[in-house]
Amino acid sequence: MNCHDVQENLPLLTYGDLSAGEQAACDEHLAGCENCRTARERLERLQQVLEQRPLVEVDPALLAEARMSLDEALDRQQHGWRALWQNGLPILRFQPASGFALALTLVICGFGLGWGLRPHAGRLIDGVAGANTADVANPDLENMRISGISRIAPDPKTGGVKITMDAERRVTLEGSLDDPRIQQVLVYAVKSYDNPGIRRDTLDALRDHADNPAIRQALIYAMRHDANAGVRLEVLGALSSMQASDDVRGALLDALEHDDNAGVRVAAVDALIDHAEKEGCDAPTALALQHLASTDSNPYVRMKCTNAMMRFGK
């Protein structure tokens, strides 16, 4: 190796990223060349300077914000025109010939169908219109294949709720929140539905009915398992307004100790403080606050826990 080769390899030499052979050749040259030794020393000093650049630590709140925005953007992707283009019409994108054939077939079928149905058109349209607009007052949920929920809205007049679902056909289920069938759909929506927006609407509808054991269990389930931090925050809002039963307190403590989103943990501390103010601070809560006051990764959570302990004289 000559001086040029060695100096070109110096950065990799200092990073330890040379092969054994290259390393040996460099070392051999450096042992006898003062110029290259000086160049290496200069480079090592430069790397020491570069090490002084502060290492960026990712703030948990920033990471949570990034995740939530990405979640929302992915939702928009999944249900937008792009999704239809990507999932629904791949044949048109990638195989122009097949796409043309498909389009031609559709046109021919359309004409054929129109011609064939021409004498009965009035009857057909009547029938379709009737089927599409009719609400189903008492749908048979046991035997209905539900493919999605498109809207959940509380009805302020009746105090009930209106659920619009896609099944064999779109149906609207309307009734009181005490109706077990309504509860069944809402609990399904909270626990299993993949659209976080619908899950949040559902929580809005359930918020004031958490005294019902099935609904309370669904909320606690969502608190522990929902992937979307925004939804978990909504659940926390609902749980914090409830009486502090053991299961509710357990879910709040779980959120405080294990949730990876700092915003959710802060809301959990607030909810626990609310409960403790009304009913006293129990031992598990005090223990968790004490533990997290010194160990939580987020300084704001630590401060909240410390303040809470001082407030309750722990």
Partner 1 sequence: MEIAGKASAQPSPTSDLNELLLIRQAQEGDRSAFDTLVRLYDQNVLRLTLQVVGSPEEALDLYQEAFLKVYRSIRHFRREAKFSTWLYRVVMNVCLDHLRRQKTRKEVAAPQPENGETEFLQTVPDDRPGLDPERATHSKEIGRRIQLALGRLNPRERMVFELKHYQGLKLRAIGEICKTSEQTVKNCLFRATQKLRVELGDLA
List of residues contacting partner 1 (CB under 8 A): 8-12, 15, 17, 42-43, 45-50, 52-59, 62-63, 65-67, 69-71, 73-74, 77-78, 82, 86-87, 194, 227
| Residue nearer to partner 1 on the CB measure, 33 or 61 | 61
Minimum CB separation of residue 302 from partner 1 in Å reads 15
Q: Are 62 and 54 in contact (CB under 8 A)?
A: no
- Nearest of 108, 130, 128 to residue 120 by alpha carbon: 128
- Report the distance separating Cα 255 and Cα 260, nearest Å: 9
Minimum CB separation of residue 175 from partner 1 in Å reads 31
| Residue nearer to partner 1 on the CB measure, 3 or 73 | 73
Minimum CB separation of residue 284 from partner 1 in Å reads 26
Minimum CB separation of residue 61 from partner 1 in Å reads 10
Q: Are 253 and 272 in contact (CB under 8 A)?
A: yes
Minimum CB separation of residue 297 from partner 1 in Å reads 11
Q: What angle is formed at CA 56 by the lines to CA 53 and CA 60, rounded to 5 degrees?
A: 165
Contacts for 135-144 with beta carbons within 8 Å, 24 or more apart?
135/171, 135/172, 135/174, 136/171, 136/172, 136/173, 137/174, 139/167, 139/171, 139/173, 141/181, 141/184, 141/185, 144/168, 144/171
- Give the phi and the psi of residue 39 in degrees, each rounded to 5: -60, -40
Q: Are 194 and 225 in contact (CB under 8 A)?
A: no
3-class DSSP state for residue 53? Answer: coil
Provide the 10 A C-beta neighbour count for residue 49. Answer: 8
Minimum CB separation of residue 74 from partner 1 in Å reads 6
| Residue nearer to partner 1 on the CB measure, 18 or 289 | 18
| Residue nearer to partner 1 on the CB measure, 177 or 303 | 303
| Residue nearer to partner 1 on the CB measure, 77 or 176 | 77
Q: Are 259 and 294 in contact (CB under 8 A)?
A: no
Minimum CB separation of residue 159 from partner 1 in Å reads 35
| Residue nearer to partner 1 on the CB measure, 65 or 174 | 65
Contacts for 172-179 with beta carbons within 8 Å, 24 or more apart?
172/135, 172/136, 173/136, 173/139, 174/135, 174/137, 177/205, 177/206, 177/209, 177/212, 178/212
| Residue nearer to partner 1 on the CB measure, 141 or 303 | 303
Which H or E element spans position 152?
A: strand 148-155
| Residue nearer to partner 1 on the CB measure, 55 or 283 | 55
Minimum CB separation of residue 228 from partner 1 in Å reads 9
